[in-house]
């Protein structure tokens, strides 16, 4: 595959997109895991399908339609939740189905032959174009700048929302901003693993990282590294075996989490592993705070 990587641009695009997607996924996925917003993220991911269908119907780049639709849906979900105090699970279920239905409707009324939606549903990293890379890069920069600038605020919001509110910071604005970042990250991941498989990359790398540390920055960094490794290994596996890249990446990711968890538990029972890193991280955070 190394020779092919040097020769073919589509493989180069795939490798670059894997690394770029892992950056946003490692950062936002950590926040999603800590705030327990996994299913909400899945709902936002599925609403993006409506934007993809709209993109085909309006003859614009489908990924831009997905971005607009995802951001609009995420803001609408928060607005309804805060205005009516509706159970978030109900909103997730409705918007999850609504996004898919709207996407199917737009595709059905689009003139000509219906487009192949497999790459958007299950991902196909080998089809990532230079234009996709530019979009992913810009969105990555937005995510990084936002989190770096507001890191301490988001950290406080994640672990003590009441304290943030008492401090005079409007938690509603933070919540809106967080959901916009989730929507952006979802769109980045769609080209890599697809709408249906997004949740795996959101959760598995941060979950593995948290097995070894409770330090937030370290979790984000380790998640990014793991996400890149899983994507590249999955890409190699899909290229060699001629199977779906999205499915390969998710398979490698989930199996890695299961294997690491089981191995760590077995070593812990045998007394070879002492879970002290997390306690050290907590003590460090308390001293810094």
Q: What is the CATH number of the domain that holds 214?
A: 1.10.3470.10
- Band (pLDDT 50/70/90 cuts) for residue 279 is very low
In angstroms, rounded to a whole number, what is the distance separating the alpha carbons of residues 216 and 153? 13
Q: What is the pLDDT of residue 158?
A: 84
Please tell me the number of Cα atoms within 13 Å of 119 on its side-chain side. Answer: 13
- Residue 226 pLDDT: 93
Q: Tell me whether residue 177 is exposed, middle or buried, using C-beta atoms within 10 angstroms of its C-beta: 0 to 12, 13 to 18, 19 or more.
A: middle
Which of 1 and 124 is assigned the larger pLDDT? 124
Percent of the chain with pLDDT over 90: 29
Asked if residue 143 has pLDDT above 50, the reply is yes
Residue 169 confidence (pLDDT): 81
Q: Residue 195: helix, strand or coil by DSSP? A: coil
Q: Tell whether pTM > 0.75.
A: yes
Q: What is the mean pLDDT of residues 83-102?
A: 83
Burial (Cβ within 10 Å: 0-12, 13-18, ≥19) of residue 38: middle
* Residue 43 domain boundaries: 2-288
Q: Are 63 and 55 in contact (CB under 8 A)?
A: yes
Quote the pLDDT of residue 3.
Answer: 58
Residue 157 reports pLDDT greater than 50: yes
Report residue 85's pLDDT band, with 50, 70 and 90 as the boundaries: confident
Pairwise CA distance, residues 212 & 187, whole Å? 29
What's the CA gap between 91 and 126, in Å, rounded?
34
Query: Which pLDDT band holds residue 5 (cuts at 50, 70, 90)?
Result: low
Q: Into how many domains does the chain fold?
A: 1
pLDDT tens-digit profile of 225-253? 999 999 899 888 888 888 888 888 889 99
pLDDT value at 12 more than 90: no
pLDDT computed for residue 1 by the predictor:
57
| pLDDT, greater one: 194 or 147 | 147
Q: Could you give the angle at which helices 38-58 and 9-34 cross, rounded to 10 degrees?
A: 140
- What is the mean predicted confidence (pLDDT) over 147-175? 85
The two structure tokens encoding residue 45: 């991911």
pLDDT for residue 139 is more than 60: yes
CA distance 61 to 73: 19
Mean pLDDT of the chain: 84
Residue 109: C-alpha distances to residues 49, 71, 124, 173 (Å): 15, 24, 25, 37
To 5 degrees, how large is the angle CA 199–CA 203–CA 207? 165
- Alpha-carbon span 95 to 49, nearest angstrom: 11
Q: For the chain, what percent of residues have pLDDT higher than 70?
A: 91
* pLDDT higher than threshold 70 for residue 210: yes
**Does residue 2 have a pLDDT over 70?**
no
């Amino acid at each position: 595959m190394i020779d092919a990587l040097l020769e073919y641009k589509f493989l180069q695009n795939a490798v670059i997109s894997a690394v770029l997607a892992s950056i946003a996924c490692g950062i936002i996925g950590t926040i999603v895991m800590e705030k327990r917003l996994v299913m909400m993220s899945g709902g936002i991911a599925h609403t993006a399908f409506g934007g993809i269908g709209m993109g085909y119907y309006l003859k614009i780049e489908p990924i831009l339609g997905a971005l607009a639709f995802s951001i609009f849906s995420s803001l609408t979900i928060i607005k309804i939740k805060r205005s009516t105090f509706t159970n978030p699970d109900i909103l997730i279920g409705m918007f999850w189905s609504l996004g898919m239905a709207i996407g199917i409707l737009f595709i059905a009324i689009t003139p000509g032959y219906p487009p192949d939606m497999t790459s958007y549903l299950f991902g196909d990293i080998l089809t990532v174009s230079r234009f996709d890379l530019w979009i992913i890069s810009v969105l990555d920069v937005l995510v990084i700048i936002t989190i770096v600038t507001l890191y301490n605020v988001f950290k406080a919001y994640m672990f003590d929302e009441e304290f943030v509110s008492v401090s005079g910071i409007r938690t509603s604005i933070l919540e809106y901003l967080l959901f916009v970042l989730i929507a952006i990250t979802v769109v980045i991941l769609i080209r890599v693993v697809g709408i249906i498989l997004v949740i795996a990359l959101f959760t598995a790398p941060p979950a593995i990282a948290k097995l070894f540390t409770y330090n937030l920055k370290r979790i984000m960094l380790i998640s990014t590294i793991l996400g890149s490794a899983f994507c590249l290994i999955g890409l190699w596996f899909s290229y060699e075996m001629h199977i779906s890249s999205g499915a390969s990446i998710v398979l490698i990711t989930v199996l890695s989490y299961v294997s690491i968890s089981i191995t760590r538990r077995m070593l812990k029972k045998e007394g070879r592993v002492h879970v002290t890193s997390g306690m050290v991280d907590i003590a460090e955070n308390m001293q810094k705070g």
